[in-house]
A and B are shown apart, each in its own frame.
Chain A
Amino acid sequence: MQSGRQPVVDVALQGTGSLTVSQVDRAKVLQRLRLGDVAFRHLTRAAALLVLVILGGIIVSLIWGSLPALRAFGLSFLYEEVWNPVTEKFGAIAPIYGTVVTSLIAMLIAVPVGLFIALFLTELCPMWLRRPIGIAIELLAGIPSIIYGIWGLFVFAPFLQQHVQPFLISLFGDIPVFSTLFAGPPYGIGVFTAGLILAIMVLPFITSISRDVFEAVPPVLKEAAYGLGCTTWEVVRYVVLPYARVGVIGGIMLGLGRALGETMAVTFVIGNAHRISGSLLAPGTTISATIANEFTEAVGDLYTSALIALGLILFLITFIVLAIARLLLLRLNARVGG
């Protein structure tokens, strides 16, 4: 009977308060709730759109920043090797080459090793060990890139220089093609070392996705193959791998995307030489290492702009690779879901 005089309690905080407020207040409160509802909905929608804005912002700002360089050099920027800040002549082919070659070396090593680890984790490993080993491999992905860099520079590169590279040089010394690929002297740092470090860094990505898709293979398929008398290897080779093919390729592309864009670890061990050398043991450079090394010291708009143009190229390459990876993995999810 005296409900109108009761203090209006915030319904949004105490759901039962609405029983005691008058009709007028009730309408007000409902109105406020409706407004809050609409506002929250639009807020979340705006945040979702922000993700698209970030991507758009990256692309627009990179294109904007690289316009001076692209105007000055045109398409020749893509295939010229010269990189001379003094005469302001820039070409991107040496860093592009370094990026592609280091990533290829990384994939050549990380793909088989990663697949074998996934095989071990899904077929051979005792149940109680699966989780700990899986976590340990994934922790490799958590170690920051700069740690790989400092470790690579002070530990891994000297080790390669003293023990591995002289061996490789003498091993392939008489074989054509390989003798060029592994021509001396052993610097320690260089394209080969950077590729090896990248291999360690992308290994966890390939392993964990391969393991997940291997585990998604229906047990009945594997059991049928075992029942026919297949060995473990034959089951993996003829049942698991074909079934998991799309997912494995998706995982590999994801790893490749990482390898292409990796910066700090490579910057430490690549040697930063703007030239294309036939030997994998020679110093080189990658797109990301060039930007990391030179951007803060770049004087002149054209120099800065050339570096941003490099960033644009890197972003386009990784975007395409990652987009393919995601499309493949999406297809896989659709299949598993349906």
Chain B
Amino acid sequence: MISSSPLYAKRRRRNAVTMALAYGATGLGLSWLVVILAVLVWEGVSGLSLAVFTEMTPPPGSAGGLLNPIAGSLVMTVIAVLIGTPLGILAGTYMAEYGRFDKLTTVVRFINDILLSAPSIVIGLFIYEVMVAQMGHFSGWAGAVSLAVIVVPVVVRTTEDMLLLVPDSLREAAASIGLPRSLMIQRVAYRAARAGMITGVLLAVARISGETAPLLFTALNNQFWSLNLNAPVSSLPVVIFQFALSPYKDWQSLAWTGALIITFAVLFLSIVARILAAQRKTS
């Protein structure tokens, strides 16, 4: 019988081994997620208190909170989104609506995809050269602009993808009642693609809220309460970086708490984005 031949047994053995490896690899991948989150919660929760959200970063050896970096991060993120989102949406609109078959669109899409995964520290250097070196000092504006440079490619990509999903019959219907093209895009296409475009913005926010590298030499850091965007502004990731590498126990535990806050904010944003995207698919 075939099933008892040595060759068949060997093939089955090999299959069993590789399938076991597949199970093992998946287990390994999932366990990383669990281990990282568990350690974060374990180390971070103990430091979590109201003071974290109401007090300034302390000097070494005393208690304090993370109010100024949290506020700095929020302000710079909001400005980055305010700058980056309209630009990204407009660019994505050109690619999907006007220049769908243009050479320009192909080139922009290609470059945009590369910018999407370009090292963020290089973007920090770019903004340093363009803004910090020209103005002569580090500033919150420079930090916000470097984050905006990261927002643009994310929004361009999702806007184009989502607009391409809008059925052309909607566009034709709008054109047939005499709606100019720009109004057709703003009233019909944007409305149909809204959920997807919001997803893109959420993903962009999730991406920049943990970004550290581009802020290191643009916004720098600030020990005190300051939302003056012409001066260095503190941000959560940079404070985590500084505190975690310090020898002081208080600072290290604040770094863990900050890490916990960022991670759960980011995970929350990406899960909301996914739910929105999933709704769009089913409807």
Asked if A233 and B91 make an inter-chain contact with CB atoms under 8 angstroms apart, the answer reads no
Interface residues of B in 115-130 (CB under 8 A from A): 115, 117-123, 125-126, 128-130
Asked if A120 and B114 make an inter-chain contact with CB atoms under 8 angstroms apart, the answer reads no
Asked if A51 and B125 make an inter-chain contact with CB atoms under 8 angstroms apart, the answer reads no
A318 to B105, CA, bound (A): 22
A22 to B30, CA, bound (A): 69
List chain B residues, Cβ under 8 A from A55: 111, 114-115
Task: Decide yes or no whether B141 CB sits under 8 A from chain A.
Answer: no
Question: Knowing A12-B183, A44-B98, A50-B91 touch, does A146 contact B210 (C-beta < 8 A)?
Answer: yes
Q: How many chain-B residues does the 8 Å CB contact rule pick out?
A: 91
List chain B residues, Cβ under 8 A from A150: 240, 244, 255-256, 259
Q: Which of A34, A41, A264 contacts B213 (CB 8 A)?
A: A264
Asked if B237 and A146 make an inter-chain contact with CB atoms under 8 angstroms apart, the answer reads yes
Question: Knowing A48-B95, A117-B25 touch, does A261 contact B263 (C-beta < 8 A)?
Answer: no
A40 to B93, CA, bound (A): 10
Min CB–CB distance B55 → chain A (angstroms): 21
Residue of B nearest to A143 (CB): B263
Q: A45-B104, A47-B91, A292-B213 are in contact. List 10 more A-B contacts (CB 8 A).
A: A36-B180, A47-B90, A49-B108, A65-B133, A136-B30, A140-B32, A143-B263, A147-B210, A260-B119, A296-B217
Chain B contact residues: helix, strand, loop or mixed: helix
Tell which of B7-15, B63-71, B74-82 binds the partner. Answer: B7-15
Asked if B266 and A144 make an inter-chain contact with CB atoms under 8 angstroms apart, the answer reads yes
Q: Which of B32, B33, B97, B255: most chain A CB closer than 10 A?
A: B32
* Total of A-B residue pairs, C-beta within 8 Å: 264
Residue of B nearest to A58 (CB): B126
Task: Decide yes or no whether A254 CB sits under 8 A from chain B.
Answer: yes
Tell which of A76-84, A171-179, A308-316 binds the partner. Answer: A308-316
Asked if A145 and B212 make an inter-chain contact with CB atoms under 8 angstroms apart, the answer reads yes
Q: List 16 A-B contacts (CB under 8 A).
A: A36-B182, A44-B98, A54-B152, A119-B18, A144-B209, A146-B212, A149-B241, A150-B244, A151-B36, A151-B39, A203-B29, A261-B121, A308-B129, A311-B125, A318-B118, A318-B122
Q: How many chain-A residues does the 8 Å CB contact rule pick out?
A: 91
Asked if A113 and B29 make an inter-chain contact with CB atoms under 8 angstroms apart, the answer reads yes
Task: Decide yes or no whether A258 CB sits under 8 A from chain B.
Answer: yes
Q: Which of A51, A125, A254, A295 contacts B108 (CB 8 A)?
A: A51
- Please name the 9 residue pairs, one residue from A and one from B, whose CB atoms are nearest each other, closest first: A144-B210, A261-B119, A47-B90, A116-B25, A44-B94, A40-B182, A231-B15, A47-B91, A61-B129
List chain B residues, Cβ under 8 A from A162: none
A315 to B213, CA, bound (A): 14
What residues of chain A have their CB less than 8 Å away from a CB belonging to chain B?
A: 12, 15, 33-34, 36-37, 39-41, 43-52, 54-55, 57-58, 61-62, 64-65, 112-114, 116-117, 119-121, 123-125, 133, 135-137, 139-140, 142-151, 153-155, 200, 203, 207, 231-234, 236, 254, 257-258, 260-264, 267-268, 288, 291-292, 295-296, 307-308, 311, 314-315, 318-319, 322-323, 326, 330
